[in-house]
Structure 1
Amino acid sequence: MEVYADHAATTPVKQAVIEKMMEIYATHFGNPSSIHSKGRDARRYLDEARRTVAKTFNAKPNEVIFTSGATESNNLAIKGIAYDQMNKGQHIITTKIEHHSVLHVFEQLEKEGFDVTYLNVDKSGMVDLEQLRRAITEETILVSIMFVNNEIGTVQPMYDIDEIMAQSNAYFHVDAVQAVGHLDIDFQEFHIDAMSITAHKFGGPKGVGALLLKTQTPLKFQQLGGEQEAKRRAGTENLAQIVGLAEALQISNQHRDEHNIHLMNLKNLFLVTLQERSVPFELNGSMIDTTGHIVNLYLPFIDVETMLTLLDLSNIYVSSGSACTAGTTTPSHVLQAMYGDDDRAKHSIRFSFNEQTTEQEIKYIAMEIHKIYHKFKEEA
């Protein structure tokens, strides 16, 4: 059996999305900025995709900026707001468990003279709300907190954070990459000024994403050249992939509640099956404030590299954490922040599923982990 269990890293492109994209490549290939009929035809599809994204999140079409993905969206939002507002203050806030496309930007801004507060999290990966409340001052211009953590699946208490942000003048950016398709996100309901998404996390193509930006949010734009995206992000729009993003977004919200129930059932089945087989493990994160698609396990009997290799030999494809740190031996900064323990991070594996994952596949993964455990137990 072959099991792909690394959906938090990237998801297979859905067939309906591929068909929609191929239609654009074959027939609607004009430049959306051209004024001739082929250009106007392409513009129609671009505008429709923008409306689809806006409607999904209860945003306005002019609040959607198409980008190359979450990394660009995060960079654009954080740098754009920080540089625009730096004359009003240079204090910015994020958490210790953000994706590196957020953390590395804050680290760079810190080198440039910005004062950065990195919020702590507890052992479930939940942000310290009191620390956030105390940290915000009149000098704070930006707060960036991810909705769902990409390594452990913890969902941040966004309503509580929103109440705190509503009492400040700081702008609020949210990395919502892992939340799309799992949670209902109302861009107008929350005091979110900027929000990042990327298509390949919910059945769309790689290389395309979006930044949702509230109408009155100031931003110093980073990419100059043309007047695309209402002069906010220069460069010819990647029309086929943008249409693919919109199509995948629509599909991801169909039967979302049923899919979430299925994923939580799979998560429970996975943990129970490992327990029944007497495999020693601990869950990294929470079983309450979480999505069902990510399960991060501490397996004390084996190191990450060995486990990944042995699972791969059994045709089970998983990861140790963020795909953006693949190939490095650096322990997960997320688990370090949660537990203060490098050793735990060196023995933890992330499994991530989607609505197509079956109970049979889950049981197969548990069975192979059981085999590996007993092999190492016998050799010990």
Structure 2
Amino acid sequence: MNTTFIPKPVVSACAWIADGWSAALPPLAGIAAAVAILLVVSPTYTAKTSFFPPVQSRSSAAAGIFNQLNALSALSGSSGSKTEAEQYVAMLKSRSIADAVVEKFDLGRIYGKKLPEDVREVLAKRTNVSMSSRSELIEVSVDDRDPQRAAKMAAYYIDALTSLLGRVAVTDARQRRVFFERQVDETRAKLASAEKRLRGSGVSPSAAQLDPGAAVGMVAQMNASIAAQEVRLATLRSVTGEANPATLAATSELAALKRRLAEMQAGAKTAAGDEYAGLYRDYKYNSALLELLATQLASARIDEARDGNSLQIVDFATVPQKKSKPHALIVLGTGFAIGIGLSVLAWAVARGAKDGRR
């Protein structure tokens, strides 16, 4: 090694260190410095909590309808969306939850930062949110110099997430409830409008044909009337004969009843009847749709109440008893390695100076 440009005091010190037992001084000094760092630097404690997202409880009927809606949304280009667990991770990292934690524990004062952005940045560095890709177990860990505060902050992340879930539709049951509430409101308004237009249109003479139940009842009643009239006509014919006015009148009445039955079965409609049919059909459609949506809305509300927004906590946050940082072995090992390096460097400098003198 060329030691021409190295000051003589440094060369002398290196020669002294490289001589005999003095070579052990740099490693010992490195260990001493590491111990001093461990004593001076405040320890950091890590508190952890983990949970599973709520299990989706879904009735079979509602599941079928909502699965069809999801399939339609996928066809419309909304594929590739995040899984529910990934959405929970994203919310835990959101500014809303960070601000809630900052305000709850007055972290601006603790971290010595004034700007909210700076406080959130420090909090993000001291908080880790991870998810297991296989089990979807979500873990939240918080680093802090106070073990009590670290545990409280980790636990509060769960509370803040639960509060956020109260206003963000994430669970399947809540999504269905929001969807069906909107559809029920829209359908109820359409039904009221259809009923108003139907009432204003009057009653068509063929209205019974529009209601299957009523139509069947009226046809049955008409057939009964025709049968009774035929019995009456047969009696008159046998008693009074064909030319009797009562028999002729009964014959005319029977013909009228048969014509009316033929009209009912043929479904002949007038223009006014067609308009009434459209209004009636619109009314019945919205009425049936409202009944179906109301049933699904009730099912979604039951499922949402069963979910209860309650996260499935696996590990509750507890006060850590052992510090997580700094790692004593790493600090001591680093100090010792630096000391060894200095000893080797001193030996190389001393050897180079000695060779130069030769």
Tell me the TM-score range normalised by the shorter chain.
under 0.3
Higher helix residue share? 2
TM-score of the two chains, using structure 1 as the length reference: 0.20
Q: Which has the higher contact order (CA 8 A, sep 6+)?
A: 2
